[in-house]
A and B are shown apart, each in its own frame.
Chain A
Amino acid sequence: MNVLEMRQITKVYGTAPNEVRALDGVDFSVEPGHLVAVMGPSGSGKSTLLTIAGSLEEPTSGEVVVNGQPLGSMSRNERAALRRRTIGYVFQDFNLLPGLSAIENVSLPLELDGVGLRRARAAGRAALESLGLADRADHFPDQLSGGERQRVAIARAVVGERTLLLADEPSGALDSVSGEAVMRLIHDACQRGVAAVVVTHDAQLASWADRVVFIRDGRIVDQTSTSADVEAMLGRQRPGTPS
């Protein structure tokens, strides 16, 4: 079963004659353990795709299904619970709460979901440890470097039992080595079974994906083959090696 299934999604902002069709009949899905990158120019609809996938915004028409549950048939409270338990978000500007330490930021979604403080903090600590941030747990965001802040944001996105990770330009203004580190973390989360969607205009970040989807004017116009298809086509041969 796909973790995320978007069927015939259309999103229209405004009303005629000034309406803007941000998405126009988009079909999009992600399997467990897969990393899919969405590329497109500014205004192509890629960020709208992500916010609708994450239930932060509702489509004008079409259906979004997360882990087999159609969002359209859920109450507002049920959708909020789904967002807390199942979906992790990573934004370009990290969106960490400045008054909370790293561990508090990471464990907050669990605490909001009613998980006991001790259990939530233990899960938060485990997530920070897995990203090499154990010694930064008690630091506040302004005491962390840009790369560390983004790792905390990723820890927050994967803490607990999240199965869907949604990232919008996750390397932000980081340098290319730190950007690669961010993509390695997202890639590692996928190795553990998380499904991830990364929206980016950066081809280097997108190249970490199993599949790259291209969006233009609110429509998916093209995509690369999946990694399995490419491996099969190349007979597991790597580029540059003589045939």
Chain B
Amino acid sequence: MSVRHALLALLSDGAKYGLQLRNEFEARTGEVWPLNVGQVYQTLARLERDGLVAVEDRGADGPQRLYRITRAGRRELEEWLVTPPDLSAPPRDELVMKVLVAAELEGVDVRAMIQAHRRYLISVMQQWTRVKGDESALDLHLALAVDAEIFRLEALVRWLDAAEGRLKRHPLARRAQPARPATRKTEARP
């Protein structure tokens, strides 16, 4: 999540104070991406340094400073919105690494290990689904952010399903015999 661009977006409909920006950010997506007030002021200072925001009253200190977006800030925001994030290089996903390593190790019960990870991921998905709760009281920004997280976790579950199927059919995986527990009990805490 680009805090920098989120703040520019919040400033695009009018000048705001730092605390106000933090509150608006938290109200929209705080349950997904919590933000402390220090991060807000640090990011605002960088935006000011880069000429993307300007301070209305230079004499005021921290909480009394009113920020507004500059013309360069609006251009930066517009450009960021239409620039696809760089997803060309696959991330070094820890879950993927664990399964790849387990598939190579003799005596690891990969199926049980995959199930433990699957249970954990679905437990986390259950918690996010509960955040969505009552639809009528659901904030749109929060719903979109929670959906994104649920889709991300679901993709991992689907990958585990596919990995389990592939390992079952692959001769390399068949030689591995479960000899010791491969996993520790995972807690349903993200």
Contacts and interface: CB of A to CB of B under 8 A. Distances in A.
Interface of A: 39, 41, 184, 201, 203-204, 206-209, 212, 214, 221-225, 227, 230, 233-234, 238-242
B174 interface: no
A233 B150 contact: no
A208 B190 CA distance: 17
A203 B127 contact: no
Contacts of A221: 115
A212 B31 contact: no
Interface in B70-118: 115-116, 118
B158 interface: yes
A203 B122 contact: yes
9 contacts: A203-B154, A207-B128, A223-B119, A224-B123, A230-B123, A230-B127, A233-B189, A234-B127, A239-B127
A36 to B, nearest CB: 12
Interface residues of B, number: 35
B19 interface: no
Interface of B: 31-34, 36, 115-116, 118-119, 121-131, 135, 149-151, 153-154, 157-158, 161, 164-165, 187-190
Contacts of B36: 242
Sorted nearest first, the 6 A-B pairs with minimum C-beta distance are A207-B125, A239-B190, A203-B157, A207-B129, A239-B127, A224-B123
A243 B26 CA distance: 16
B115 A225 contact: no
A242 B190 CA distance: 11
Contact of A41 (B32, B116, B127, B161): B161
Interface of chain B, main secondary structure: helix
A214 B31 CA distance: 29
A208 B151 CA distance: 14
B165 A233 contact: no
Contacts of A203: 121-122, 125, 153-154, 157-158
A209 B51 CA distance: 49
B135 A230 contact: no
Contact of A204 (B32, B125, B161): B125
Given A214-B115, A234-B189, A240-B31, A204 B126 contact: no
B106 to A, nearest CB: 23
B188 A230 contact: yes
